[in-house]
Structure 1
Amino acid sequence: MTFSLKKILPHLLVVLGFIMLSLAYFNPVLKGKSIFQSDIMQFIGMSKQQTDFREVTGEETYWTNSAFGGMPTYQLGAKYPHNYIKKLDLALRFLPRPADYLFLYLLGFYLLLLVLGVDWKTSIIGAIAFGFSTYLIIILGVGHNSKAHAIAYMPLVLSGIILTFQKKYIFGFLWTVIAMGLELIANHFQMTYYLFLLVLVLGIAYLVDAYKKKILFNYFKSLGVLIFAVGLSMALNASVILATQEYVKESSRGQNEVTINPDGSSKEITNGLDRDYITQYSYGILESLNLFVPRLTGGGNGEPMGRESHTYEAYRKLGASPSQAIEASKHAPLYWGDQPIVEAPAYVGAVVLFLFVIGLFLVKGRIKWWLVGGTVLSLLLSYGKNLEFLTNFFIDYVPLYNKFRAVTSIQVILELCVPVMAVFGLVNLFKANRNENDKWQALKYAAGITGGMAIMLLLFKSSFDFSGVNDSFYRQNYGQDFVDAIKADRKSVFTLDTLRSLILVLFSASVIFAYLKEKLKQEWAIVIFGFLVLFDLVGVDRRYVNNDDFVSSKQVKYPFQMLEADKEIAKDTTHFRVFDLTSSGARASYFHNSLNGYHAAKLRRYEDVFDFYVVKNNMNVLNMLNTKYIIAQDEKGNTFSYLNDEANGNAWFVKKLQRLHTANEEILILDSLDTKSKAVYTFGNVSKNQNEEMTELKSFMVDSTASIQLLTHRPNYLKYRSNNKNEGFAVFSEIYYRYGWKAFIDGQESSHIRVNYTLRGMEIPKGTHIIEFKFDPEVVKTGSKITLMSSILFVLLLLGGILYKLKKDSNKLLVSKNR
């Protein structure tokens, strides 16, 4: 027992250290403050209705009416039955946000290095290098929590895979199931997809190694174990995966039938995202160097500059007061790379890159090749349209690659691989049996390459024009002198940060030089490098995410305040929609059933209608969507609500139903369609039997006594009473979604179709009837059953594994005693 405690004590202290480090960086959480994350503010707005419903009823709704006219909540924090892996995730994230994610970064990477055989002391350096990589901190600052969540579990997944390839089949299997289950629960499939690409690279490296060593049987045995493990981890997340898979088909990630743009031009038809949208954020090739020099291309679009800056002087010359100029200079547009907007550079650290280069010369075998392969693949794919042939190949031929935007995000793989290689560079330097000449050669090359790069950048600084893609805007609005001032500051930070990286490289080289000369002990070298990496990365991180980003917890919990316009609208207790012209985000969704919202994966057909008509304030379409109130601003900037008396209401009978043949026809006709008396649908929208019953144009008798009234409305349930002397066709101003919504007439299930491109329609018999719509998605029921059964299976396998291990250890002890 004493021996076991001694063995585990250093790791417990490391974990405690990671907790303290995470809380120290985000220390305002200790005072009860919360970080203000712009994306999370929007998420709260989007999910307010479902959160309120959950608190009031104790039930879960998988549909919300508060955003984009209505959509599933699968990507808005929906909770599923029997999701036990989520409970484990919540237990691991016990620290206040965002310290919890930083802790997961550090812990996961530390465990990965231990699995790779690195000693605990050196593993701490790697954990710090990964956890404080600037991009990983920045995404916490802006609120990309699900992305951070998925990235944090990547090292754990790799650990399980590597353990399995190390022939620790039972332990590797159990670890992989848990780690992959946690990875999937983060629900950021873009990051998981990029992890899969890295795993492919790792798998190829291990396959080549197995072939050379003639141990292919062991390789494929491990592969079989891992496939089973991943399959079980997916089953543990069946509800999340199946619901997402279903939603993707109907979202902007799915195939679009419309072949034209709102301006009438032809549209590229794909089964994923538009090519330009995918590559909108493409990493500049020169910009790659900001991995080494943080503000090589200016840093971010809003760099904090002081009173001594040229930008400050430029604002003063434009007539700003000293306080106004200081405030404006806190957000100087210094970024001059290829991307439209950048919050901060993807800096991995001058010290880390120096050690990475050492690793290139000292590390051998499969680990080198999967780390280098992952790094190169990640960097090349991040170039997007700047390396068009490779990007187009992946978009056109690699499955699912076209489902994700912002190709620069793939650099998370690079940000994982580089610190691992850097750590192994150190490990090889510390190996007593390693050739000393190799170590000196590695030091010479690393210092020459990284230090030489910094010197070359300083020498050839004048060859850069420091012009940004948005400079024309500043030139037009502020004049050429202002642009010249920005360029001067860009040159200044370029020089300062390049010198900074050069000094860090020289200092790092000096530490290794002293160690190789036996002037410095290994333990002290490790301590110094730990502090160097921490100083290097935290020094840059604090420029972008610091205590100034924290506000009172109340402000984060309630991010939107009611305006007078909202208060006026709230007096109306009927069911309707609101269109907010003053905000493009989720502010209106926080208070109302809104046409607005903030999400990267909207329902595809609603997005089409929004882009074609809503954004242009087309009243015909706004009426069809039951937009009773419009929030706008007057000439003085005061917000007011406009009552739209022409809104069609919740449901209405139409006189004519016309069948069209293409999606293009259907969306274009909305501009002139009299939606109060006529509805349209497309041939492929209804079943074969319905098509046979419905002619090209069907007429209905609608007199003044015909009515359809909404009696009850909840996010997932709608109840109407219809009264009509004749058979009729009703249009419901509710977003059509073919999965989950069931319609009933007098308690009997009935079919309904999509009309007017995005709404629901239904034939209703004559007389008085009760009509109900219930959102009861089968995908959640099916997923929950699979999750429950797989959880039971995993527990049985876990217990079996423990019993097997205990029996094996007992047998070893018995054999030892007999000897």
Structure 2
Amino acid sequence: MENKTLNQNDILQGAGANQDIVEYREATGEEALWTNGMFSGMPAYLINVHWSGELTRYIRQAASLWLPTPASQTFTAMLAFYILLLVFRVNPYVAIAGGIAFGLNTFFLISVEAGHIWKVAAISYMPLVLAGIILTFRKKYLLGFTLTAVSMAMEISSNHYQITYYLLLIVMIFGVFKLVDAVKNKTLPGFGKTIGILFLAVLLGIGANIGKIWTAYEYGKYSIRGKAELSSNTESSGGLDRDYAFAWSNGIWEPMTFLVPNFYGGATQEKISMNSDLAEGLRKKGAGSGQIKSFVNSVPTYWGDQPFTSGPYYMGAIIVFLFILGAFFVKSYVKWWLIAASVFGIILSWGDNFSAFNYFMFDYFPGYNKFRAVSMTVAIPFLCMPLLGFIGVQKLIESEWKENKKQFLKALGITAGLCLLLIGVSFVMRFRGAVDAQLGDQAWLVDLIRDQRASMFRIDTIRSFFFIIASGAILFYMKQGKIKKEIALLSLAGVLVADYIPVAKRYLNEENFKRDVKGAFFAPTEADQQILADKTHYRVLNLNNPFNEARTSYYHSSIGGYHGAKMRRYQDLIENHLQSEIGTAIEILRSGSTDFSELNVLNMLNTKYLKFGDQAGQIVRNEAALGNAWFVKKVKKVSSPDEEISVLGEINTKNEAVINSERFNISGTNFSDGTIELANYTPNDLLYKSSNSNAGLAIFSEIFYPKGWKAYIDGNEVDILQTNYVLRALEIPAGDHEIRFEFKPAAYYTGNKIMWGSSILLILLIIGSIVYSIKKQI
């Protein structure tokens, strides 16, 4: 109502990355399948492409009541978990509490605050997929098939395959328990029939997204998630580097934040009260009020193992209690499935802190090495633990109180007792963090910070103890008959809200909402306006953290960018040449010179402008940039990627090129000079005019990508060569010619047609299921 939106970094970076794609769509009504906005060029369908065959977006919008993001994802998550609990025949009041718990935990809300919207969307559909699977196993074949197909279509359309992969792990563990159950009860034929039905449902869900999957799979082989080509990158045999994937690994004790939010001090830096003991300690040391206020606004309270964290993954003290309760009261395979999945997810989140198991998973389990930030596997227990907990509440409601009262008190005693134990243990804990070493010889300040961590730990542990006792009391008096069931369950939901909201507001509050966030972030600077006066086609290098920002891409074609799946060869180029050349460029500028003629790799990427600030005087034009295309006189033939990347650093890219002759045939090594210029540019279509007296080799400052690009000389298709490790080249016969590059990937055009057909089938299936259900009721 105040016209404010969340200040989400990833959303802003994404807006910068896709701006040229959006502009092209608005101007032409067509989709830009390639973008020059980031990393000198990459497929646009990895960033922002509308698929006309993706009709499931209308189902998504309807399921979320057309709410704006991120409210739509939060509502969908609550609704989906509510439906899953109803499928498990849980009381609707209990299911309401469950929906609240699933939608308001800090793992979910911190992801919202960071702008990881597609991750949040994928998480929100996970319960619906499980609900469809459970219904199918209960022989509700039509309803189960429909729900599984539709929910899988929406899950995959969220385009966060890492979360979908974790959902697959949950389902696989479920499948093992169901298979064992089928073997014991001699019902293997029925098990096989159900698996067949679910396979078809998943297949239909995949079909509704096949274009997205196809293009992602196709690109994945050429990205940093694909096989490395350089021998120096020995760890990457078909996935991410191990160090990169495990950079965010939970500490062994990190899952204790499920129970106590400030177990490890909260976020990397926390805002502390001016009335705290820490602030008082600073006053005693003579610090002024301004200094104290500045320091307490960002105290390094986190002392866990992760390099950086936006906040703890707080599942809820009440949920941990209910999970223990469920372990006592749920007797079927469901208990062991959910416990096994939860433990598995926690072990995976430990990453290199439990390397004996997790390195094995990374090296040998299919597809696992495609994903980074293994701490994200807590998505598994964040689904399974509350599910077991609320099924446990239902079993408690149904149970004979006299026979099970002791079991209830055991669950309550274990959870509340753990909190009391933690409070006692805290008085012998050191609360040491890796950041403490950065404070040097200021031992007194380190002691104040550690005391603050200890205080936060104890306060939150007492807080968790209180909520466990409060929820336990509600359920106890309900079973004693002193509180009506409906009132007790609504009270439980209320206590859950009272638990979650204050913790959530530590990390997602009014300060996160701003007016015109996008407008302020992307307001054109003097430097932007000066560069934009140039109407030619060129690239810009932002010298300030170029490979982790996409604001530059909002207005310019950028050498850098912000994306989790850069092309493998471009990453190699960054590590082997660009980083060193950027350092050289900075030294040249510091010396007062603007002669960048020796920066051969940056020049071949048509880096016409270097930007080191926002003022008009903080950009430099690079006169040595080689332009959009040029002819070279010599070619150095090599026989391996290692030689390609090495020789590239030795040649003058203005006159020479390097080509791997083992992969690409080229007629000679000496060529004539000539002229070539870009006549027309659109993302999917580039037109050049050339003139050369003899056969020549033209180098194009465009990234080579083998899937979809076609080249034509005077209308005749010719082979595209890969040169200078990342660029395109063509052999041009003598004379005047018209050269055209077109990007028409089959994965997009054919995939989109399949998506149309599958989406229509899904919609017909939904309509048919509704009609059948109505007729059955009548």
- TM-score normalized with structure 2 length: 0.94
2:646 is aligned, of 665, 668, 687, to 668
Is contact 2:527-2:616 (8 Å) kept?
Answer: no
**Consecutive unaligned residues in structure 2, runs of 5 or more:** 585-598
1:423 is aligned, of 390, 406, 411, to 390
- Cα distance, 1:33 vs. partner? 1.4
The CA distance in 2 between the partners of 1:796 and 1:39, in whole Å, is 36
Q: Which amino acid aligns with 1:51?
A: V
**Partner residue in 1 for 2:206:** 234
**Partner residue in 2 for 1:308:** 275
The CA distance in 2 between the partners of 1:444 and 1:119, in whole Å, is 22
SS of alignment partner, residue 257 of structure 1: coil
**Partner residue in 2 for 1:630:** 610
Correspondence 1:659 to 2:637: yes
The CA distance in 2 between the partners of 1:319 and 1:669, in whole Å, is 60
Q: Which amino acid aligns with 1:203?
A: G
SS of alignment partner, residue 657 of structure 1: strand
**Partner residue in 1 for 2:411:** 446
The CA distance in 2 between the partners of 1:500 and 1:796, in whole Å, is 51
**Partner residue in 1 for 2:526:** 564
Q: Flag the 1:639–1:534 CA change in 2: closer, same or farther, 3 A.
A: farther
1:372 is aligned, of 339, 342, 366, to 339
**Partner residue in 2 for 1:765:** 733
Q: Flag the 1:368–1:298 CA change in 2: closer, same or farther, 3 A.
A: same
The CA distance in 1 between the partners of 2:471 and 2:396, in whole Å, is 13
Indicate the larger mover: 52-61 or 582-591.
582-591
**Partner residue in 1 for 2:161:** 189
The CA distance in 2 between the partners of 1:681 and 1:558, in whole Å, is 45
**Partner residue in 2 for 1:538:** 501
The CA distance in 1 between the partners of 2:490 and 2:627, in whole Å, is 69
**Consecutive unaligned residues in structure 1, runs of 5 or more:** 1-29, 261-265, 811-819
1:76 is aligned, of 38, 44, 47, to 47
**Partner residue in 1 for 2:590:** none
SS of alignment partner, residue 722 of structure 2: strand
The CA distance in 2 between the partners of 1:314 and 1:257, in whole Å, is 56
Q: Flag the 1:808–1:41 CA change in 2: closer, same or farther, 3 A.
A: closer
Q: Flag the 1:806–1:502 CA change in 2: closer, same or farther, 3 A.
A: closer
SS of alignment partner, residue 676 of structure 2: strand
SS of alignment partner, residue 495 of structure 1: helix
Correspondence 1:614 to 2:582: no
Correspondence 1:52 to 2:23: yes
**Partner residue in 1 for 2:86:** 114
Correspondence 1:464 to 2:429: yes
Q: Flag the 1:189–1:786 CA change in 2: closer, same or farther, 3 A.
A: same
Q: Flag the 1:805–1:292 CA change in 2: closer, same or farther, 3 A.
A: closer
SS of alignment partner, residue 405 of structure 1: coil
1:723 is aligned, of 691, 698, 714, to 691
Is contact 1:661-1:683 (8 Å) kept?
Answer: yes
- Paired residues for 1:713-752 under 5 Å: 713-752=681-720
SS of alignment partner, residue 622 of structure 1: helix
Correspondence 1:598 to 2:559: no
SS of alignment partner, residue 332 of structure 1: coil
Correspondence 1:334 to 2:297: no
- Paired residues for 1:137-148 under 5 Å: 137-148=109-120
SS of alignment partner, residue 111 of structure 1: helix
The CA distance in 2 between the partners of 1:551 and 1:806, in whole Å, is 47
Correspondence 1:350 to 2:321: no
Q: Which amino acid aligns with 2:499?
A: D
1:29-61: CA deviations, max 9, x gaps? x33211110110100010010011111111111
Q: Number of paired residues? A: 759
- TM-score normalized with structure 1 length: 0.90
- Cα distance, 1:219 vs. partner? 1.4
- Cα distance, 1:801 vs. partner? 4.8
Q: Flag the 1:684–1:451 CA change in 2: closer, same or farther, 3 A.
A: farther
**Partner residue in 2 for 1:398:** 365
The CA distance in 2 between the partners of 1:193 and 1:231, in whole Å, is 15
Indicate the larger mover: 299-308 or 790-799.
790-799
1:219-260: CA deviations, max 9, x gaps? 111110000000111011111111111111111111111122
**Partner residue in 1 for 2:588:** none
Q: Flag the 1:521–1:402 CA change in 2: closer, same or farther, 3 A.
A: same
- Cα distance, 1:174 vs. partner? 1.1
Is contact 1:564-1:640 (8 Å) kept?
Answer: no
SS of alignment partner, residue 281 of structure 1: coil
- Cα distance, 1:145 vs. partner? 0.4
Q: Flag the 1:806–1:535 CA change in 2: closer, same or farther, 3 A.
A: closer
Q: Which amino acid aligns with 1:631?
A: K
Q: Which amino acid aligns with 2:562?
A: Y
Is contact 1:67-1:596 (8 Å) kept?
Answer: yes
1:163 is aligned, of 135, 139, 157, to 135
The CA distance in 2 between the partners of 1:470 and 1:656, in whole Å, is 53
2:536 is aligned, of 566, 574, 580, to 574
- Cα distance, 1:471 vs. partner? 2.3
Is contact 2:630-2:699 (8 Å) kept?
Answer: yes
The CA distance in 2 between the partners of 1:250 and 1:557, in whole Å, is 35
**Partner residue in 2 for 1:712:** 680
Correspondence 1:679 to 2:679: no
Correspondence 1:410 to 2:377: yes
Q: Flag the 1:205–1:594 CA change in 2: closer, same or farther, 3 A.
A: same
The CA distance in 2 between the partners of 1:136 and 1:419, in whole Å, is 14
The CA distance in 1 between the partners of 2:56 and 2:540, in whole Å, is 38
- Cα distance, 1:290 vs. partner? 1.0
SS of alignment partner, residue 390 of structure 1: helix
SS of alignment partner, residue 451 of structure 2: helix
- Cα distance, 1:732 vs. partner? 0.5
Is contact 2:170-2:380 (8 Å) kept?
Answer: yes
Q: Flag the 1:769–1:315 CA change in 2: closer, same or farther, 3 A.
A: farther
1:108-129: CA deviations, max 9, x gaps? 1111111111121110011111
**Partner residue in 2 for 1:212:** 184
- Cα distance, 1:65 vs. partner? 0.5
1:54-111: CA deviations, max 9, x gaps? 1111111111101111111122121112211123223334112211111111111111
SS of alignment partner, residue 66 of structure 1: coil
**Partner residue in 2 for 1:483:** 446
Q: Flag the 1:221–1:516 CA change in 2: closer, same or farther, 3 A.
A: same
